[in-house]
């Protein structure tokens, strides 16, 4: 894909990996347990809703689904490549996405992802209004090893047995009948030599199988050591009420076969909507307290945050950062705030973009909440159009903030450059996604991806980015593309800024 590993090398790697049959699951990202990528953005004149289902294994096939908002797109082509670095300059030949027969605005295609790390899917749309490009960042990592299918295992074992026995019998036959004239019977004296040769051949075959088995296991172990799990972050609270976070270095498989893994120390980060880290604290169980904070760097791999006055309890930590490659990482951790400490520390007043809310306990089995009273007296409505939420189905979450009189809020301001931020958390904490009107990828990764586009064809800036202009008005309709990864109860925290104040709405959703 990049100049460092052209397709030939990639094929070689595939050939080396293929006989081992250890397949990896990929994905993960600025998320926990929510590997697929959802993006809404502009490819030149066309607005596209893109879903990339990252493959179960790498090398593996990513499924790309694209819905065009308008009906003037005639062709869409897609290609995978690196997000940053030299590999982002040379696009491979793109493949055509197939247009649905039933729905001419829907396109579907699949792509081989051959390497790990920070990739992008480059989308080329062509139609009545000309050409346009959109780049969708894809974090590609291994999440688990897939076991071999039992039927395949049995088949391979049977083939191996046949081959091994055949090898022994060929050697025995060669010794028994190798230099006889046609039609002659082998002399009885050869019997011992035949048995000896057969036994030796059996030993050699067994030795080869043993070495093969060791190789297989060594390879599987090496892969297993590269499986991505969200890195953990250690959290402590100082007597003065400062939360100290320490990120342990993370190992991650790289795309380069000569450099099988990178060790990431979390010093090489880029700003993601104006902050190095977005820290989310969710009190458990119940998810009734939620904070969205922005710690400052405090030395190598460490971050520091003055805590606001917070109720005591057990908090789950999700800490989002973006590596300079554009790869998003969510670190996870826990912290207990005993009432003594929480009581003792008055808590610093909230500053800047920090915000939080204390609400009710998550519903256990409710269908989706439809509206939420905002702290400023307005409301946030969730427009659901009577649709039930289903796992694995991409959708646009639509929210409408209203003022006290119930009219659409006209005083929305950009909050960290965007119309809205949302955190989607499953009730057991196994899913966490930090999403925006652009979609499920961090703004920093999205901007890097658009910057890699050649020339002026890229019109990638999504509606939300255009709102970045400080005094531009934000329409009171928030749309966030997402897809729930699995069934269960979810809590969605939606944050907007009105009249200088950050408002958080809380919605519960049962996903089938
Ligand atoms: Cu955000």
Cα(500)–Cα(446) distance, integer angstroms: 26
Helix 190-224 and helix 150-177, axial crossing angle in degrees, nearest 10 = 150
Rounded to an integer, what distance in angstroms lies between the CA atom of residue 393 and that of residue 395? 6
464-474, pLDDT tens digit by residue? 444 444 456 78
pLDDT of 27 reads 31
For residue range 480-503, what is the model confidence (pLDDT) as tens digits? Answer: 999 999 999 999 999 999 888 889
Q: How far is the CA of 435 from the centre of ligand 1 (A)?
A: 6
- Measured in Å, residue 302 CA sits from the centre of ligand 1 at 21
383, 389 Cβ separation under 8 angstroms = no
Query: What tokens appear for 503 in the block?
Result: 């408002």
Model pTM score: 0.80
Backbone angles phi, psi at 378, to 5 degrees: -80, -170
Assess contact for 420 and 480: CB atoms under 8 A: yes
| Centre of ligand 1 from the C-alpha of residue 149, in Å | 41
Distance, CA 445 to ligand 1 centroid (Å)? 13
Region of 278 on the Ramachandran plot (φ > 0 left; ψ -120 to 50 alpha; else beta): beta
Reported confidence tier of residue 15, pLDDT bands at 50, 70, 90: very low
- Residue-wise pLDDT for 97-143, tens only, equals 999 999 999 999 999 988 888 899 999 999 999 999 999 999 887 76
Tens digits of per-residue pLDDT, 380-429? Answer: 999 988 778 999 999 999 999 999 998 988 888 888 888 899 999 999 98
- Cα(279) to centroid(ligand 1), Å: 10
Report the separation in Å between the CA atom of 436 and the middle of ligand 1, taken as the mean of its atom positions: 6
Report whether pLDDT(432) > 60. yes
- Cα-to-centroid distance, 408 and ligand 1 (Å): 22
Percent of the chain with pLDDT over 70: 84
Phi, psi of 18, deg, nearest 5: -55, -50
* Residue 19, pLDDT score: 35
Q: Would you say 414 and 497 are in contact if contact means Cβ atoms under 8 Å apart?
A: yes
Around Cβ 11, how many Cβ atoms within 10 Å?
12
In this prediction, residues 164-179 reach a mean pLDDT of: 88
Closest CA to 140 of 114, 175, 174, 166: 114
In whole numbers, what is the pLDDT of the chain averaged over residues?
82
Indicate if the pLDDT at residue 436 is higher than 90: yes
* Residue in this structure with the two tokens 């002399």, named with its chain if needed: 187
pLDDT at 28: 36
Residue 148 token pair: 């071999």
Distance 350 CA to ligand 1 centre (A): 17
Beta bridge partners of 251: 263
Range list of β-strands (E), 14-94: 23-24, 31-32, 37-43, 46-53, 60-68, 73-82
Please indicate whether residue 350 or residue 237 has the higher confidence score (pLDDT).
Answer: 237
Ligand 1 center to residue 7 CA distance, Å? 36
**Is the omega angle on the peptide bond into residue 259 within 30 degrees of 0, that is, cis?**
no
Q: What pLDDT, on a 0 to 100 scale, did the predictor assign at position 417?
A: 82
Other CB atoms within a 10 A radius of the CB of residue 240 amount to 10
Rounded to whole angstroms, the Cα distance separating 52 from 97 reads 13
């Amino acid at each position: 894909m990049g100049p460092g590993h052209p397709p030939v090398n990639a094929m070689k790697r595939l050939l080396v990996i293929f006989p081992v049959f250890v397949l990896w699951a990929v994905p993960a990202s600025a998320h926990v347990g929510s590997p697929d990528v959802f993006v809404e953005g502009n490819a030149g004149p066309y607005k596209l809703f893109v879903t990339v289902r990252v493959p179960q294994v790498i090398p593996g096939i990513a499924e790309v689904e694209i819905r065009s908002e308008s009906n003037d797109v005639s062709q869409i082509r897609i290609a995978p490549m690196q997000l940053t670095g030299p590999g982002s300059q040379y696009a491979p030949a793109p493949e055509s996405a197939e247009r649905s027969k039933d729905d001419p605005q829907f396109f579907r295609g699949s792509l081989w992802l051959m390497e790990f790390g920070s990739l992008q899917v480059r989308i080329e749309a062509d139609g009545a209004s000309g050409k346009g490009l959109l780049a969708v960042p894809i974090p590609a990592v291994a999440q688990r090893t897939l076991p071999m299918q039992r039927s395949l295992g049995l088949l391979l074992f049977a083939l191996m047995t046949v081959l091994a026995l055949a090898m022994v019998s060929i050697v025995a036959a060669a010794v028994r009948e190798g230099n006889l004239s046609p039609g002659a019977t082998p002399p009885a004296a050869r019997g011992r030599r035949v048995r000896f040769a057969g036994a030796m051949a059996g030993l050699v075959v067994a030795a080869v199988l043993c070495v093969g088995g060791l190789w297989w296991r060594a390879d599987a172990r090496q892969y297993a050591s590269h499986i991505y799990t969200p890195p953990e972050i250690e959290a402590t609270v100082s007597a003065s009420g400062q939360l100290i976070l320490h990120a342990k270095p993370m190992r991650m498989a790289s795309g380069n076969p000569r450099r099988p893994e990178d060790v990431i120390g979390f010093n090489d980060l880029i700003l993601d909507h104006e902050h190095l880290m977005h820290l989310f604290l969710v009190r458990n169980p119940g998810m009734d307290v939620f904070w969205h904070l922005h710690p400052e760097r405090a030395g190598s791999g460490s971050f520091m945050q003055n805590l606001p006055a917070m109720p005591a309890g057990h908090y789950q930590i999700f800490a989002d950062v973006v590596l300079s490659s554009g790869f998003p990482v969510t670190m996870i951790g826990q912290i207990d705030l005993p009432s003594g400490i929480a009581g003792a520390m008055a808590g610093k007043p909230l500053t800047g973009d920090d915000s939080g809310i204390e609400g009710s306990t998550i519903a256990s089995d409710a269908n989706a909440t439809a509206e939420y009273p905002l702290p400023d007296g307005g409301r946030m409505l969730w427009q659901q159009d009577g649709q039930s939420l289903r796992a694995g189905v991409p959708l646009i979450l639509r929210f409408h903030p209203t003022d006290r009189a119930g009219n659409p809020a006209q005083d929305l301001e950009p909050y960290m450059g965007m119309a809205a931020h949302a955190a989607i958390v499953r009730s057991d904490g196994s899913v966490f996604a930090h999403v925006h009107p652009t979609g499920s990828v961090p703004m920093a990764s999205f901007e890097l991806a658009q910057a890699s586009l050649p020339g002026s064809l890229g019109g990638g800036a999504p509606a939300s980015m255009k709102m970045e202009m400080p005094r531009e008005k934000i329409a009171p309709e928030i749309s966030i593309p997402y897809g729930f990864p699995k069934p269960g109860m979810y809590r969605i925290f939606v944050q907007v800024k009105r009249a200088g104040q950050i408002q958080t709405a809380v919605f519960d959703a049962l996903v089938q």
